[in-house]
Amino acid sequence: MSAHKRVFQVLGLATVGALSLGLAACSGGAAGDDDVTTIGFVAVGPEGAWREANEQNIQDTFTEEAGYELKYAPATNLDQKSQIDAFTSFVDEGVDVILLSATEATGWEDSLKRAQEAEIPVVLLDRGIEPDDTSLYVTRIAPDNIEVSTAVAEWAVSAFPDGANYFVLEGPAGVSVVNERNEGFDAVVGAESSFTKIGAQTANWSTEEAKGVVETVLKSNGNDVQFIFAQNDEMGLGAVQAVEEAGLTPGEDVKIATIDGTQGALEALAAGDLSFVAEYNPLFGETALDVVEKVLAGEDVEPSIVVPSETFDSPEAAQTALPDRKY
Ligand code: AHR
């Protein structure tokens, strides 16, 4: 991609809700070859099947053949400071665009302002920031967590016409998608007087941790739990293990719903161990590439780009989908 310098025109973003960029012919601020667009990817790193699929898809999309140099910077043990350090390095290095999947929702204002001062557009992938100041980034590309968790809640209300005692397995505290998934779910189930929330606890996206949490919940509630909402697949599979070890039948005594739609979850749905899986589609590399090209061409980009996702509510639906699943 030819050398270019981006001229930021930060419009009245409260109204425009987008960052408009004008092009002026000059040398780019990027280090390295002017014919290559450098992308700094501040990533989460190893976290589970969803994250692996998402980050591999980004790396498979921004290739050298496509004219990009993608600098992949996964967090160290999910630590936000390592992400902020990588972000700062990318700004100092003068990459053309920064992609950010934030391990924590808060604490990004200073970094984002630095990128803005350096005229480096930032695109959020998956995770949002709080407070959500859309003047500090170009756009967020993600499935809609409110929509996805609302689908889980609406399924639960239909699956339990007389209500249920339920427990929520959450992702790590402080992660934007956790707050959004609680918001969407609670708005529907919270309005149902026949549903009783017996508790919620983080299991940090982990199968093993979720198994331990659910073992305790079942014991302390005399197994009187009919529904578990796991905010990702791995935790849902841990809940399945705990239900089985308690001598109960997942899918019958206790129904478990999850978010992500990874192969392991669909296989568990096909087997009847899970009862509902809401996809949170991780494969949006092409969308991210399109956004980057628009931003560098000075075109307007919407402040939020929703990645379509589907739901699976039966073994038959899972069996139909499994042969073509890409993650
Ligand atoms: O931010 C998306 C969430 O992060 C996924 O639902 C979960 O599996 C991942 O760890």
Residues of the chain with pLDDT under 70: 1-33
Spacing, Cα 51 to ligand 1 middle (Å): 6
The atom of ligand 1 lying closest to the CA of 127 is: 1
Question: Does the domain made of 3-141+282-296 have the CATH classification 3.40.50.2300?
Answer: yes
Cβ–ligand 1 contact at 260 (below 6 Å): yes
SS in 3 state form for the chain? Answer: CCCCEEEEECCCHHHHCCCEEEEECCCCCCCCCCCCEEEEEEECCCCCHHHHHHHHHHHHHCCCCCCEEEEEEECCCCCHHHHHHHHHHHHHHCCCEEEECCCCCCCCHHHHHHHHHCCCCEEEECCCCCCCCHHHCCEEEECCHHHHHHHHHHHHHHHCCCCEEEEEEECCCCCHHHHHHHHHHHHHHCCCCCEEEEEEEECCCCHHHHHHHHHHHHHHCCCCCCEEEECCHHHHHHHHHHHHHCCCCECCCEEEEEEECCHHHHHHHHCCCCCEEEECCCCCHHHHHHHHHHHHCCCCCCCEEECCCCEECCHHHHHHHHHHCCC
Among residues 41, 91, 42, the alpha carbon closest in space to that of 69 is found at: 41
The atom of ligand 1 lying closest to the CA of 205 is: 10
Tell me the pLDDT tens digit for each residue of 220-241: 999 999 999 999 999 999 999 9
CATH class entry, domain 145-280+312-324: alpha beta
3-141+282-296 matches 145-280+312-324 in fold: yes
The atom of ligand 1 lying closest to the CA of 126 is: 1
pLDDT at 33: 64
Spacing, Cα 277 to ligand 1 middle (Å): 14
Cα–Cα dist 73/85, whole Å: 10
Cβ–ligand 1 contact at 103 (below 6 Å): no
For residue 76 the two structure tokens come to 């160290």
pLDDT at 35: 86
Domain spans of the chain, in order of start:
3-141+282-296, 145-280+312-324
pLDDT at 32: 53
Query: Distance of alpha carbon 193 from its chain centroid, rounded?
Result: 30
Residue 259 and residue 148 in contact, taking contact as beta carbons nearer than 8 Å:
yes
Residue 319 Ramachandran class (φ > 0 left, ψ -120 to 50 alpha, else beta): alpha
* pTM listed for this prediction: 0.90
What residue has token string 């109204």? 15
Cβ–ligand 1 contact at 50 (below 6 Å): yes
